[in-house]
Amino acid sequence: MTRVLLLGGSGQLGTAIAQRWSDCEIVAPSHDELAIEQSGRLADALISTRPDVLVNAAAFHDVDRCEDEQATALETNAFSVGRAARLAAQRDVLFVTMSTDYVFDGAKGSPYAESDSPNPLSFYGASKLAGERLVEAAGGRAFVVRTCGVYGPSRSPSRRRTFIDRILAAGESGEPLRVVADVVASPTFAGDLADALRKLIGTTEYGLYHAAAAGPVSWYDFACEAMRQARVELAIEPIAANQWKARAIRPRYSALESAKLGELGIAMDPWREGIAAYLALGVR
């Protein structure tokens, strides 16, 4: 049985991995027990757990806070990830870590493939890109997987409601709803992402991958479809991104094409199916 040491196990992706990698033995210390910055503790955990795979689903991904807390963003998303990759490489443990669509600037205007050049607009995106590069430099067996707009149940004490939960709660309470219509992404159901990662780690085709729901969609269209599927009736007002003020600059177009996964025969579900799978869990 594959032994997995999982960081960030209480988050959206971590929860999905813990639930869906049923053929793996998973050890998932909490953030309090093992923060990714604590390299000494991580080294000890690698010795005591003897995993085949170290999965890092932890991150500092409050995009706006990363603008103000740049040192923390760099430490958590880049330097610590690089050290974890080196520790894994020293023990010949497969390393898996996640990156983001925010490494791109959105200028392409069509789904980004792995071969496209990154150009992050935010400090969060820059810190994650630095993490990608440090994993590559560590030289071990590793998968770096960029994803986008992840949603799923989470056991994290600091979890925030998912975009779908917030939309449906507003719809049900009759609150007026405004959603950006000129920002396009690939919102991805965490369960589908976890399934794809499980298949990916069964291969030896190490490197950088995109893993996101198939098909680009604006957040407005995504919200309308979530309301339709949940049978909540309330009109949503489409707004422009410049009507929504935020600290960090985000790409207007950051849909990802999971091109290399496709070459391995690993398909990501279309975004509409992700909504259906999430609603079917009934966990709101």
Ligand X SMILES: NC(=O)c1ccc[n+]([C@@H]2O[C@H](COP(=O)([O-])OP(=O)(O)OC[C@H]3O[C@@H](n4cnc5c(N)ncnc54)[C@H](OP(=O)(O)O)[C@@H]3O)[C@@H](O)[C@H]2O)c1
The stretch among 44-52, 59-67, 175-183, 271-279 that binds ligand X (CB under 6 A) is 59-67
Q: Which residue is nearest to ligand X (CB)?
A: 11
At closest approach, how far in Å is the CB of 174 from ligand X? 27
Q: Binding ligand X by CB under 6 A: which of 20, 37, 232, 277? A: 37
In angstroms, the first-to-last Cα distance of the chain is 33
Angle separating helix axes 219-230 and 271-281, nearest 10 degrees = 40
How does strand 184-185 pair with strand 217-218?
antiparallel
Give the residue with the Cβ less far from ligand X, 14 or 171.
Answer: 14
Which residues inside 72-101 make contact with ligand X, applying CB under 6 A? 76, 98, 100-101
At closest approach, how far in Å is the CB of 117 from ligand X? 18
The stretch among 63-71, 132-140, 151-159, 255-263 that binds ligand X (CB under 6 A) is 151-159
**Number of residues located near ligand X, criterion CB under 6 A:** 28
At closest approach, how far in Å is the CB of 156 from ligand X? 3
Give the residue with the Cβ less far from ligand X, 75 or 182.
Answer: 75
Q: Binding ligand X by CB under 6 A: which of 4, 5, 8, 74? A: 8
Q: Binding ligand X by CB under 6 A: which of 149, 191, 216, 274? A: 149
Give the residue with the Cβ less far from ligand X, 122 or 147.
Answer: 147
Q: Which residues contact 105 (CB under 8 A, 6 or more apart)?
A: 119, 120, 121, 251
Q: Rounded CA gap, 158 and 153, in Å?
A: 12
Angle separating helix axes 80-90 and 39-49, nearest 10 degrees = 30
Output the CA–CA distances (angstroms, integers) from residue 248 to 65, 70, 123, 160, in the order listed. Answer: 8, 12, 8, 18
Instruction: Find out whether 249 and 199 touch, Cβ atoms under 8 Å.
Output: no
Helix/strand/coil for 137: helix
Angle separating helix axes 80-90 and 123-138, nearest 10 degrees = 20
Positions in the binding site for ligand X (CB under 6 A): 7-8, 10-14, 31, 35-37, 57-61, 76, 98, 100-101, 147-150, 154, 156-158
